[in-house]
């Protein structure tokens, strides 16, 4: 699967910019699932199947699986997405960033071991730490730029040559790292003014936008400040607000409704 092509097809065919984050927390699972031996996979599979038609991508967070010893569930979940919902891409949220053979092995982990279509990476160590990912021309490389967390400005706002560091990242990735046309930037919904600044620097580069829903990002501001001229260019991620929209036997239906509501809310401003 070519990630960028698949993403654009989802934007157009399914008329959606919603990315469903898959961050399993068993304590929040419905009671009937919590004690089941394969609860992580069963919960996430039900969410995937209920939200697929409203999603342009899924984004499993690797730490939520690894902390539970559920790497096999993650592997099977990604395989299930590809089998049951062909053409719907998966972004592995692992925020990798290292050098040399370590970076190469992280790329193998994401793309060969788990079969992800894209991966999040940290640019702090420079281009050589991202190059093993960038070399996979058919895969997406989602580079942290202006993240949604409250402390993001501690380093990202530091001035270098009169501009904050995150702007240098945006420009460098868009105009130097994107030779294969497979880069995206992470820009948080919690910083709408910065979102507009990054869009001005990055042209039509797609953005992964976390921070709506539980983190309080404003959907209208995200679309108005971050969308490209054709009303796309955004992968707007929501995790908890969709995953845990319901806690009863109908939890998957509740998640599906939440994903559709977010899709419709986003589309009102496109």
Any idea which residues carry the catalytic annotation?
95
Q: Rounded to 5 degrees, what are φ and ψ at 52? A: -55, -40
Exposure string of 178-212, with b = 16+ CB inside 10 Å and e = fewer, is beeebbbbbbbbbbbebbebbbebbeebbbbbbbb
Q: Under a CB-based contact definition with an 8 Å cutoff, are residues 114 and 75 in contact?
A: yes
- C-alpha separations of 164 from 70, 152, 158, 185 in Å: 39, 12, 5, 16
* Cα dihedral 216, 150, 98, 160 sign: positive
**Residue 107: CB atoms within 10 Å:** 22
Contact between residue 269 and residue 223 where contact means Cβ atoms under 8 Å apart: yes
């Amino acid at each position: 699967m070519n990630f960028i092509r698949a993403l654009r097809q989802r934007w157009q065919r399914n008329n959606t910019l919603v990315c469903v984050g898959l961050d399993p927390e068993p304590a929040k699972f419905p009671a009937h699932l919590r004690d089941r031996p394969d609860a992580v996979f069963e919960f996430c599979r039900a969410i995937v199947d209920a939200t697929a038609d409203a999603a342009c991508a899924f984004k499993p967070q690797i730490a939520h699986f690894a902390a539970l010893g559920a790497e096999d569930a993650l592997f099977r979940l990604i395989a299930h997405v590809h089998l049951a919902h062909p053409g719907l891409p998966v972004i592995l949220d692992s925020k990798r960033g290292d050098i040399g053979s370590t970076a190469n092995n992280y790329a193998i982990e994401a793309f060969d071991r788990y079969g992800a279509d894209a991966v999040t990476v940290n640019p702090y160590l420079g281009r050589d730490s991202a190059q093993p990912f960038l070399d996979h021309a058919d895969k997406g490389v989602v580079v942290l730029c202006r993240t949604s967390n409250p402390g993001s400005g501690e380093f990202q706002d530091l001035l270098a040559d009169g501009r904050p560091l995150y702007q240098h990242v945006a420009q460098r990735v868009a105009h130097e790292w994107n030779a294969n046309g497979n880069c995206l930037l992470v820009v948080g919904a919690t910083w709408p003014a910065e979102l507009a600044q990054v869009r001005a620097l990055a042209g039509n580069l797609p953005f992964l936008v976390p921070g709506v829903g539980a983190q309080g990002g404003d959907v209208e501001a995200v679309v108005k400040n971050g969308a490209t001229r054709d009303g796309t260019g955004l992968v707007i991620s929501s995790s908890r607000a969709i995953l845990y929209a319901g806690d009863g036997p109908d939890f998957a239906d509740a998640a599906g409704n939440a994903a559709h509501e977010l899709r419709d809310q986003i589309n009102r401003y496109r």
